[in-house]
A and B are shown apart, each in its own frame.
Chain A
Amino acid sequence: MYRYDEFDAAFVADRVAQFRDQVERRLSGELSEDQFKIHRLMNGVYLQLHAYMLRIAIPYGTLSPRQLRKLAFIARRYDKGYGHFTTRQNLQFHWPALSDVPEILADLASVEMHCIQTSGNCIRNTTADHYAGAAADEIEDPRPYGEIIRQWSSIHPEFTYLPRKFKIAVSGAKKDRAAIQVHDIGYQIVRNERNEIGFTVYVGGGLGRTPMIGHKIRDFLPVADLLAYTEAIVRVYNLEGRRDNKFKARIKILVHEKGAEAMRQAVEAEFAQRDRDALRLPETETARIRAYFAPPALAPREAVSAVFEARKASDERFAAFAATNLAAHKTPGYAIVNISLKPIGGIPGDATAEQMEAIADLAEQFGYSEVRVSHEQNLVLPHIALEDAPALYDALLAQGLATANTDLVTDIISCPGLDYCTLATARSIPIARRISERFGDGARARDIGPLKINISGCINACGHHHVGNIGILGLERKGVETYQITLGGAADESCSLGALTGPGFSYEQVVDAVENVVNAYLEHRIDRNEPFLEAFRRLGMAPFKEALYRSNAGADI
């Protein structure tokens, strides 16, 4: 993975010193909150419902064991012994004291981590496919490009005061595991007819209050032009994006109001007139950065592991885990292992310090020291020999990390919601827990098959409910929580936004409603091989609406 050179280290150290000084001056009163707020946001410090919240950037979701151990250390020393992994591959601490934040940042800097640009109207963490560098279907590892964008966008003097936040994602396979079509810029790695690597470019995707799918503005962007083109897009946005209305300030609104074709022309014109050489990526530089992400030298293994097969044959639960949580690796004899942070009835995305340390150990022991964070709030060990999978599983089991539910109905994505967040209008986590308990960890969930449930506790959609196969949005009406259900969303390459089923459901009734939706799917699907999303796209809303709003189904009209 990328290692800071001396310039990066000095830069981050400078920023820590700068923020330490800003915190001191805030605490002494030399800086008012109005003066300080913009600085604290640029360092990822929010004020939430119960306490401050610190958001730590995990570039393209890649962590070393050393970094994970430091996060565990910080969790124990400065917080309540746990951390929360987010829908943008970051980590949040929900209980740090402002007065401790400078020390926390210094601790993070010691392992080349920081919180810079995890908030504010700037370019945020660039996310990538969490199977990067390992997936069997990968065209090319997207992370070097994530790193290039990260370096270029960090404290970029021109783009520090954008109209609003800006989020970029890169996908390295045709199968989009990075949700690029609902990002401000989405880059899809492709090969052209000459077999050269480049990007298909999407602009203007986003969720939040006004979900929109990104528009393709370029079929093929050569790698060398990545930064120049990105800059062209952001320059057009910076110039023309709205600053009069916070809710119309994202680039998706600009694309919508301008029109995709006009946007494309504006970007291409900006791109054409810039000094391309200034930002052209020399192949030597790209190669240098790619080298940091070179795949580890995996010990050769038999494609079929006798140990693995034997364990599957003799242990039903391990067989279930292998069937759901393992994904195909490009190297024979290896697999990508998903570590679920969605224990049945648990809080999605939370991990204790002990669990983080255990995963760090396991990554070192079995996983070539690589850990990934997925935007679906789970962790990944991307390089595990099948031979080692049983031993890994046993260790994960001991830590409560072996829930066999990757992509299943209980692999729920949920924002923190009204239990933690000042923006929230409803609780989200209790809904996730109850849904998880309703379907459980067994045959029923496996029979239902792949089904993404996303829950957001307010209209800002941090739970990405618009792209959930089942999306749940928690609102408030007359002081009472009410939950809207959307169906048929998808964040992958078939990107679609969920459709509203109808009137919302109460806190008490929404889990029954979700179960009614699932039962309708089971009743109408062709067979087990037709997943929920496909069935919904074939059937349309009618049978689900019927299941939800039968006279005794209890929706609050």
Chain B
Amino acid sequence: MPQVLTANRLRDGAVVFLGAEDRWVERLDEARVLEDKVVADTALEGAKADEKANLVLDLYAFEVVRFNGGVRATHLRDAIRAAGPSVRLDHGKQASRP
């Protein structure tokens, strides 16, 4: 199952995803899709350097499914985490969506 690597940014706690060129991005649709668990584990190992470098914390990989040209989290918790609270659509990442 495809996965995406995620963490929280240390400075402000914002949810970030591992994107292209190992940069951390704020939007799920910019995240690098890791095709399977093996690829994800490799990326996770690499990303631990950023934990040590105090950029991010609480690294983990979550499952996604391809959807409409992008990806969507398969688990509700990750979907809420990627979008923002379902009860305040004016808060979180969903608020700045075009």
Give chain A residues whose Cβ lies under 8 Å from the Cβ of B81.
Answer: 49-50
Contact with A along B67-98 (1 / 0, CB 8 A): 00000001111001100111110011000000
Given A33-B57, A50-B81, A430-B87, A98-B11 contact (CB < 8 Å): yes
Q: Which residues of A contact B (CB under 8 A)?
A: 26-29, 33, 47-52, 80, 95-99, 347, 418-420, 424, 427, 429-430, 433, 476, 479, 481
Per-residue CB contact flags for chain B residues 5-26 toward chain A (1 = under 8 Å, else 0) read 0001011111100000000000
Report 19 cross-chain contacts, Cβ distance below 8 Å, ordered by A residue: A29-B52, A29-B53, A29-B54, A47-B58, A50-B85, A51-B12, A52-B13, A80-B91, A95-B91, A97-B11, A98-B12, A99-B11, A418-B76, A419-B80, A419-B85, A427-B80, A427-B86, A429-B85, A433-B87
Cβ–Cβ < 8 Å partners of A99 in chain B: 11-12
Determine if A481 and B12 form an interchain contact, defined as CB atoms under 8 angstroms apart: no
Total B residues in contact with A, Cβ cutoff 8 Å: 26
Nearest CB in chain A: distance from B6 CB, A: 11
Whether B11 contacts A418 by the Cβ 8 Å rule is no
Q: Could you tell me the distance between the alpha carbons of A47 and B10 in the complex, rounded to whole angstroms?
A: 10
Residues of A contacting B54 with CB < 8 Å? Answer: 26-29
Bound form: Cα–Cα A75–B76 in Å: 28
Given A26-B10, A97-B13, A98-B11, CB of A419 within 8 Å of CB of B58: no
Bound complex: CA of A95 vs CA of B12, how far in Å?
Answer: 8
List, in ascending order, chain A residues with CB within 8 A of B52's CB: 29
Bound-state Cα–Cα, A479 to B15, Å: 21
- CA–CA, A96 to B87, complex, Å? 19
Give Cα A95 to B84, complex, Å: 11
In the bound complex, do residue A98 and residue B10 qualify as a contact, i.e. CB atoms below 8 Å apart?
yes
Are B13 and A420 in touch, CB under 8 angstroms?
Answer: no
Complexed CA–CA distance, A516 and B56 (Å): 47
Question: Do the beta carbons of A47 and B80 come within 8 Å of each other?
Answer: no
A47 to B92 alpha-carbon distance, docked (Å): 15
Closest Cβ–Cβ distance, residue B84 to chain A (whole Å): 6
> Assuming the A-B contacts A419-B86, A429-B87, A479-B75, are A51 and B53 also in contact, with contact meaning beta carbons closer than 8 angstroms in the complex?
no
Residues of B contacting A50 in the complex (Cβ-Cβ under 8 angstroms): 13-15, 81, 84-85, 91-92
Q: Nearest chain-A residue to B77 (Cβ)?
A: A418
Min Cβ gap A49→B in Å is 5
From known contacts A27-B11, A98-B12, A418-B80, infer whether A47 and B57 are also in contact, taking CB-CB under 8 Å: yes
